[in-house]
A = this chain, B = another copy of it.
Amino acid sequence: MPLTLENIQQKFRECGLKSTPQRTAIYQALVQSTAHPTAEDLFAQVSPTYPMLSLNTVYYTLSVLRTAGLVLEVNIGHDRARFDANLSPHHHVICQGCQNILDVMDPRLNRLASPSGLPDDFEISSYQVAFRGYCGACRKSKISMTTSPSGKRPVSS
C-alpha cells in the first residue's frame, strides 16, 4: 500500500474522521517515519509546512488517531510518549544510549505461549517484547568513556 493522499483520506473516512490538511500531514509524517517520534518531533517536522500548527493540535490529532486505531502509543520508559503507525505485530529494540527504537518483526516472537501462574480469569489480549541494549555507535562511545555508564544523575561526583 503506497502512501498517497487519497489513501490517507480514505482511511480517515473509513474511521469517520474529517480529513484536514494538518491531520493528514501529521499522520503522513508518522507513517513515513520509522523512528517512533514524539509529539514534539512530529510538530517539528510538520511545522515548516504549516507554520500556524499548534503543538496542541498534534497532541489532539494523535489522541484521535490512537482512538481510531490508526496509530499506537509506544511507551518506552515513563518519559514522553512516542508513536508508531506500524500496526502489524512487531516488537521493539531500544538502545539505552541514544534511546532510539528499532522495530523487530521476528515471527518467532509472535507465538509466545500465555504465561503460567496467572489468575484463571485474567485474559491476555496482546503482548510486546522490549529488548534493551546498545547500538554500535553507542557501544563505541561507551568504551571510550571512562566515567560511569549509569543512567540518570543522583550521585553526581
Contact = CB atoms under 8 A, between A and B. Distances in A.
B95 A106 contact: no
Work out how many copies of this chain go into the complex: 2
A105 interface: yes
| A-side interface size class | 35 or more
Interface in A24-52: none
Contacts of A82: 78
A102 B118 contact: yes
Nearest to A69: B150
B104 A121 contact: no
A70 to B, nearest CB: 13
Contact of A130 (B113, B130, B132): B130
A129 interface: yes
A6 interface: no
A72 to B, nearest CB: 11
Contacts of A63: 152-154
B130 A125 contact: no
B93 A115 contact: yes
Nearest to A123: B133
Interface string A99-115: 00010111011001111
A139 B118 CA distance: 15
Contact of A129 (B81, B121, B129, B153): B129
A136 interface: yes
